[in-house]
Amino acid sequence: MTRPTKWRKVGFVPEITYFKPAGIPLRFLEEVRLTVEEAEAIRLKDLEDLEQEDCARRMGVSRSTFHRVLESARKKLADALLKGKAIRIEGGNFQIATHRFRCASQGHEWDVPSECDQALPESCPTCRSTEVHPVPVCSPVEHGGHRGGRGCRSTQ
């Protein structure tokens, strides 16, 4: 029996998720599917220029798992770029990595990306109250191809 896939933490989901070679109609193109966690691995390693150990920690996986995700992403990108294929970023096994906070005085809630390494915000961004507390973790909920519905966010 195979081991279930571990959900990977993602700090950024791209707004633009489809790329294609110019001048070639879609009906003639093959497509490469890059998962959201593969895109995150490329972002952390190649754009943010982090060490693999730091990338793996941010994604909540082992260094060897991070290496496999990164290599898979790079191979898919090379295939698409060198063979003129379209790239679609979608799906995968991921959850949005955020910390959720609540204002005790007014009940406002907001998320802070976990990359910010901020233990506790100084004040509520809406009412500026200093009575700020982390929202307890609940189980992530399936939502639109990824985990992380309203109120149920990862805090690690």
Residue 85 and residue 79 in contact, taking contact as beta carbons nearer than 8 Å: yes
**Residue-wise pLDDT tens digits, 57-112:** 989 999 999 999 999 999 999 999 999 999 999 999 888 877 778 888 888 887 77
Note the pLDDT of residue 90.
96
pTM: 0.66
Q: Counting beta carbons within 10 angstroms of the beta carbon of residue 147, is it exposed (0 to 12), middle (13 to 18) or buried (19 or more)?
A: buried
Rounded to the nearest 5 degrees, what angle is found at the Cα of 89, between the Cα atoms of 147 and 57? 55
Q: Which domains does the chain have, with CATH numbers?
A: 8-94 (1.10.10), 97-147 (2.20.28)
